[in-house]
Structures are given as C-alpha cells and as structure tokens.
Chains A and B, each alone.
Chain A
Amino acid sequence: MKKLSNNDYIKMYTYMLKIRRFEERAAQLYGMGHIGGFCHLYIGQEAVVVGVLMTIDKNDSVVTTYRDHGHMIARGLDPKRIMAELTGREDGYSAGKGGSMHMFSKENNFYGGHGIVGAQVPIGTGIAFTHKYNGEKNICRTYIGDGAMNNGQVFEAFNLAALWKLPVLYIIENNKYGMGTSVDRAAAGLDLYKRGEAFGIPGEKVDGMNIFSVIEAADKAGKYVREGNGPYIIEVQTYRYRGHSMSDPAKYRTKKELDTYKETDPIEIVKAEILKKKIAKNDEIEKINKDTLEEIKNAAEFATNSSFPKDSELYTDVYL
C-alpha cells in the first residue's frame, strides 16, 4: 500500500469536495438555463477518480467517458475553465465547442471526454500504444462505464492491448446503471473485472466508496502496467447519487438504495479518517469547506460572465 502523508489526506479531501461542490453548482446552473444539452454528474463517485489520482504520474495520460468533470478536476485542471465549457463560453477548455461531454487538455495529457459509449477504450489503448512506441515509462488510464462493458470495441481493444502488451490501465466505474438499465439487466455475468480473463488480462474488484481501497488497487495495478506486463483491469464498485443525466428522474431505483450508499459517503469516510488521525482539526476542515465553496462559486461566476464564442469561431478548428 502506498504510504500516504498528511498532505495526501488533505489533498484527497479537498479534491473530492471540489468535485462535489462543482457538480452541485453545475446542476444549479443547468436549472437556471446556463448549461444546456447533456450534463452527467459525478456526485457519489468521487473516491474513484481521486483515489486513482493519488497514484498517478503527471506524464501519464487519462481518457474517460462523457461523465468527465470530476476527472478533469482531479487532473488539476481549472474549475473556472471547466465550468466555462459547460456554459459554452470562449474561456472553456474547448472554447465552447465541446461542452460537458467533450473536454480535453493536451498539455495536461487529458484526452477527453468522449460522447460515444465505449469509443474511448480503443483510443486510450492507442495512447498507451504511443507511450510504448516512444519508449516512455508512462501509462494510459482508461476509464470505462459499466454500460460500455457490453460494447464490442471494448473487447477488441482488450485483445489488442494484451496482444501487444500495451501499458494501459482499464478502470471500470461500475455505478450500477447504464443510463436506466441496471447492470444485471444488461450484462450476462456480473463480474465485469473478469471480462479480460479470456485475453489473459488480470482484473480485480474494488470498493469504490472507500478511497483507501481504490488507492491500494490503483497503485498495485499501475505498477504492474508500468513495469511492462501489459494491461490490467480494475472494476470499481461505485454509485452515482444523481440520475444518468440532468433530465433523468432516476425512477428505476428506490430511495432506500440511494440512502444506503449515502450512508457510506466517500467524502465523509476521508473526513472521519482525517479527524481520527488528528491530521486536521474541525475548524481546519471547515476552512477547506468554505474555501472550496468559494472557489466553485467564483468558477460559476466566471463561467456565466465569460463571452460566448465569436461567430467567426464557427468555422475554425475544423482543419489544422
């Protein structure tokens, strides 16, 4: 298990909280009409991406699904510019042309943000191919939703990654529902982490509500991949508190189910650990809470005040 410093604990807590506050604010802006289209929130899943973050090298690459706001924040990207993309403004990471589902930051090795279920899996595998081709020691972390695990190209990518021993870590975020269809209604065989077995890809299941389990698994898997052993799969059992997207009332599940998960809230777990280990006092935690709220409020203000893209931008960036 990776040894965590006091700073690491604070970092985890801060990032998870930042994601939570960001998503709540995004929901508010959506309700006010500042954000349009599809908007998929990450609330409840914060321990996954922040846990993986704790094991990451800054030159490693990341690619993910359309539920990507949290991944960008965890990558250290500026919430102001993420929110500005959600509001479709020129200061957004994609200059207002991508929106919530299609955000990128090449300089931070963040390769999206992909709107097509499963498409990011071969792409992440190709980014890993490049790390290997260039002789770099870096790996590509490729996030996959449970819904994509029934998608053909995912298995084609698994085959290629294993065949060519590519440095790719597949992280399945199993939040129990592909849109409104629960995993047991979509997948024949519920152990998604075993779906690389036929290709010889090792896999394991992890409690995604507990960040310490995520860190332990991601650290171990990351090392395995970085040492040139080929791909690895971790299936993180997590839960989204909100619907699939903003327009989803989530009628397909019970309030009781939701409440059960909320009892093991990932942020509360970290907070309790910090207090227990006396890494910070209650008032210090309160200060983080206040500062985070403030930062996200500012991000929202920035995102609603940034200009819409100029009309001439319609025709730019089609070709380089």
Chain B
Amino acid sequence: MSTEILMPALSPTMTEGNLSKWLIKKGDTVKAGDLIAEIETDKATMEVEAVDEGVVLDLLFKEGEANIPVNKVIAIIGDPNEKVELKKEAPIEKVIEEKKIEKNIETKIENKKDDVIDTPSPKIEEDRNLSAEEITMRQALRDTMAEEMRKDNKVFILGEEVAEYQGAYKVTQGLLQEFGKERVLDTPISEHGFTGLAVGAAFKGLRPILEFMTFNFSMQAIDQIINSAAKTLYMSGGQINCPIVFRGPNGAAAQVAAQHSQDFSSWYSQVPGLKVIAPSTPYNAKGLLRSAISDPNPVIFLENEILYGLKGPVNNDINFSIPIGKANIEKEGKDLTIVTYSIMLHKSKEAALRLKEEYNLDAEIIDLQTLRPLDTETILNSVKKTNRLITVEESWPFGSVGSEIANIVQRDAFDYLDSPVIKVNSADVPMPYSLSLEKLYLPQVDDILNAAKKVSYIK
C-alpha cells in the first residue's frame, strides 16, 4: 500500500504553494508526525507533517518549485518492497475539483493571468510607465508603503503581526528588516487601545499606517475611528487634523463565516471626516495607497483578501498616485452602466463579457476606486449616456453604497433613466460558513447578468 502526499491547503485562500524545502529524502522512513517539507503559502512558510507512515518512495517536486496546485501529489510513501506505479500527472480529487469550480472566480483571479477578464483597463495600458513585470496586490501595497516610509520619517506602521510575523497576509513583508522596530510595530491584540494611540500620534503630527488584521476587528476600535479620528478636525475648528491610514482586508475571504466576513464599505462611507478607498487591482492599489498616505485626513483603505494574490502591471514611479475621489471607467460601453468596486469589479467584468457574447449588450463598467468622496460626476455622465444602471457590491443591501448611488441618480438624472436602478448585493443575512451557502450569499456573475437583463428588459 502506498500513500500519496498531496500539496495541502494551509490557509483559507491558498490555491497553490511553493515547495521551499524537503525535510526528507528518498528512502527515509517517516512516521506520523514527522516533518516532511516546508511549504510557502500565500501567507507564510509552514512546515508540513506526515499523517501516514512508510518509506519515502518518491519526491515528485524539487525544492524551490513554485505554484504547485493544492491537492497535487508531491510525494509518495509506502512499502519499498511493493511495486508502485507512479502517475505522471497526479489526479486532483473530485471533491476538491468541485470546490474549485464553485470558487471559480476567486481561482481565476489567482491563476489566470492571460484571461481577458484580468487584462488592465485601456486607461492603464495608456500609462507609459507601466511595468513589464506583473506583481501581486500585496507586493504593490508593500512597495508603496516602503516607498513612502523612505520619503518621510513620520510614516510608520503598526498593527497585529505586522513586524516579526511579516504580516498576517504578508502585506508588510520585509518592512521590519528595512525600517526597524521603531517604525514597524507589532501591537498586542488590543484594537481599541492601539487605534486610539495611533490617532493620538496622528494628532501630534506623525503619519501612522494602521493595519487591521481584518476590518472585522475595526469594530473594536470604531469609536476612536469615528469619534476621534473623523471628528476632531471639525470639533477643533480646523486646528487638529488626523493624517492616518486605516488599512487591511475587508469583506469575505473564503469560508471564514459571519464574524470574519463583513463588508464595511457603507459603514465608513457614511461618516463625514473620513475618506474611503477600495482598490481593485495592483495598479490602482499603488496609486491610491500613495494618495491615502499623503492625505492629511483619516483614510479608510479597504483591501480584499482574495485579491491579494491578483497579479497585474503597475506604475513604478515612486511619485505615481491616483487622486482620491476619482472613479475609473474600466470599460466603455453604451447599453448600460455597471458601477462597482473592489473584488466585484472582476465579477462585473466577467458578466460584461457574457452580456456581450450572449445578449449583444455593451456594458460600461465604472470602478469607483474611492467610495467617499464619491465621484458622482462620472456616474451621472455614464447614466446619461447608457440610460440604465446597476450597482454591484459585496456589502449587505440595506443602506449600501449602491443605495446612495441609486438615490443620487434618481435625483439628478431621473429623466435619463429608461428603467429602475437595480442593486446587486450580498444576501441580507450573516455570512454562512458552508461553501454552498457562502456562494449563495455572495453576488455571483449570474446575479449581475440577471440584473443587467432586467434593466434592459430582456427576459
């Protein structure tokens, strides 16, 4: 009997891993619990233990090999006296295959570099400084922080696991080594306290970047964000500003359930005194984060965990920035407008492709980039052209960003509308754990398609 050892999924969002190091060699006898390999995931490098016992018959990947899919056979153990037929291409278990299909958008974002969905928008392609190399969203964010920290000694970063651990999602990787522990600070799990501390530091003239491990934990600190950071400039008659960036992943990851999957975009967008940004690509993440760090006001910077692995070209000019408050027309179109942001941009683009192929509808896609201040001009101009609007976002439906857009559009472009505005949101329930229910909860390409058909009066 031989046993196949598969590339394990070591984090909720991991789809592939790098084999950093073998801790066993062919012919070794392994017992359950022995360390067999070091695997680099999307978050960290981790040691893997054997679950079964036997002699190592074969290692199917060399040390240093990258992008090995989860559930690929990486080694075989068993009885050396028994003849083993080694399969060239090891099968991926059917269940897992199904799981992957269900998560198809996320997987596509992670893996499909040459998919048309992930090509940069025309505007980005016009950028003369566009890098030949594609980098991930997490690299783009890290590079921008490092660049700004080199420019200005007042910029520092604090949060849980940002320093020695190198970031819970590896977004702050290498910053401790370059800038030292005075400027890259691990905090205790104490959001209310360290958020207040960072706000005080910003009042006094420093420029903190505060990482929430996820924005779910910002609820612990929300009084300091709203009552202190957002309101003090006003309450002090313009004397005391708060130049701080609150950043971290927002919204659903993968099966982390109700308390770890909330989208806060409309919560924070409701608050005067805050600016709210939600990047969708490495390109705009870079330009927008630079603007956020340079801004003299508190900025909520809502990242998306699933997008951290998304690769794309960037502008490497250390002064390149994208202005806050300006939406990007991701794709021009004439038949209807889709207003979206963050991860839903990618689902919207896929829906737009199908709308063209299946219904010959030419959708215009607006990626908001900034949620507050909202670029109402770009939205209204588009609606005046296409006469139809759907909004697509991950947040709960009640009082969402889309609700506000629907209000603005009916107020300022009523006569241009050929159909009611339709919002696509997640389900109005707490996020379920189960994979099947999670998929139902989140807006899917079909939901966008159906909304687009409805505003176009297509049955």
Question: For A126, what are the chain B residues with a Cβ–Cβ distance below 8 Å?
Answer: 196-204
Please tell me which one of the listed residues A116, A123, A156 contacts residue B203 in the complex, with CB atoms under 8 A apart: A123
Determine if A130 is an interface residue (Cβ-Cβ < 8 Å): yes
Contact A123 B237 (CB under 8 A): no
CA A114 to CA B236, docked complex, whole Å: 11
Question: For A157, what are the chain B residues with a Cβ–Cβ distance below 8 Å?
Answer: 193, 196-197
Determine if B228 is an interface residue (Cβ-Cβ < 8 Å): yes
Give chain A interface residues in 303-320, CB to chain B under 8 Å.
316-320
Question: For B223, what are the chain A residues with a Cβ–Cβ distance below 8 Å?
Answer: 116, 119
Question: For A156, what are the chain B residues with a Cβ–Cβ distance below 8 Å?
Answer: 188, 190, 192-194, 196
CA A126 to CA B234, docked complex, whole Å: 20
Please tell me which one of the listed residues B200, B227, B273, B275 contacts residue A111 in the complex, with CB atoms under 8 A apart: B200
Total contacting residues, chain A, CB less than 8 A:
47
Which A residue's beta carbon lies closest to that of B273? A318
Question: For A129, what are the chain B residues with a Cβ–Cβ distance below 8 Å?
Answer: 197, 200-201, 206
CA A128 to CA B203, docked complex, whole Å: 11
Which B residue's beta carbon lies closest to that of A93? B237
Which B residue's beta carbon lies closest to that of A111? B203
Question: For A128, what are the chain B residues with a Cβ–Cβ distance below 8 Å?
Answer: 200
Determine if B358 is an interface residue (Cβ-Cβ < 8 Å): no
Please tell me which one of the listed residues A63, A96, A124 contacts residue B237 in the complex, with CB atoms under 8 A apart: A96
The interface bits of chain A over 173-198 (1 if a CB of B lies within 8 angstroms of the residue's CB, else 0) are 00000000000000000000000000
Chain-B contact segment, one of A34-42, A99-107, A262-270: A99-107
A193, chain B: closest CB distance, angstroms? 20
Determine if B297 is an interface residue (Cβ-Cβ < 8 Å): yes
Cβ-Cβ contact count across A and B, 8 Å cutoff: 147
Determine if A200 is an interface residue (Cβ-Cβ < 8 Å): no
Contact A95 B237 (CB under 8 A): yes
Please tell me which one of the listed residues B156, B224, B239 contacts residue A133 in the complex, with CB atoms under 8 A apart: B156
Give chain B interface residues in 169-193, CB to chain A under 8 Å.
182, 185, 187-188, 190, 192-193
Determine if B69 is an interface residue (Cβ-Cβ < 8 Å): no
Question: For A61, what are the chain B residues with a Cβ–Cβ distance below 8 Å?
Answer: 204
Contact A122 B239 (CB under 8 A): no
Question: For B194, what are the chain A residues with a Cβ–Cβ distance below 8 Å?
Answer: 122, 156, 160
Known A-B contacts A104-B239, A159-B193; A318 and B233 likewise in contact (beta carbons under 8 Å):
yes
Contact A160 B201 (CB under 8 A): no
Determine if A115 is an interface residue (Cβ-Cβ < 8 Å): yes
Give chain B interface residues in 253-291, CB to chain A under 8 Å.
272-273, 275
Contact A122 B195 (CB under 8 A): yes
B227, chain A: closest CB distance, angstroms? 5
A-B contact pairs, 17 of them (CB 8 A): A97-B235, A106-B240, A111-B203, A122-B196, A123-B197, A123-B224, A125-B193, A125-B200, A127-B200, A152-B192, A153-B192, A156-B192, A156-B194, A157-B193, A160-B194, A317-B234, A318-B273
**Residues of B with Cβ closer than 8 Å to A?**
156, 182, 185, 187-188, 190, 192-206, 223-224, 227-228, 232-241, 272-273, 275, 296-297
Excluding A104-B237, A160-B194, 13 further A-B contacts by CB distance (< 8 Å) are A63-B200, A111-B204, A112-B240, A122-B199, A123-B200, A125-B197, A128-B200, A130-B205, A130-B206, A156-B193, A156-B196, A157-B196, A320-B297
**Residues of A with Cβ closer than 8 Å to B?**
61, 63, 92-98, 102-106, 111-116, 119, 121-131, 133, 152-153, 155-157, 159-160, 163-164, 316-320
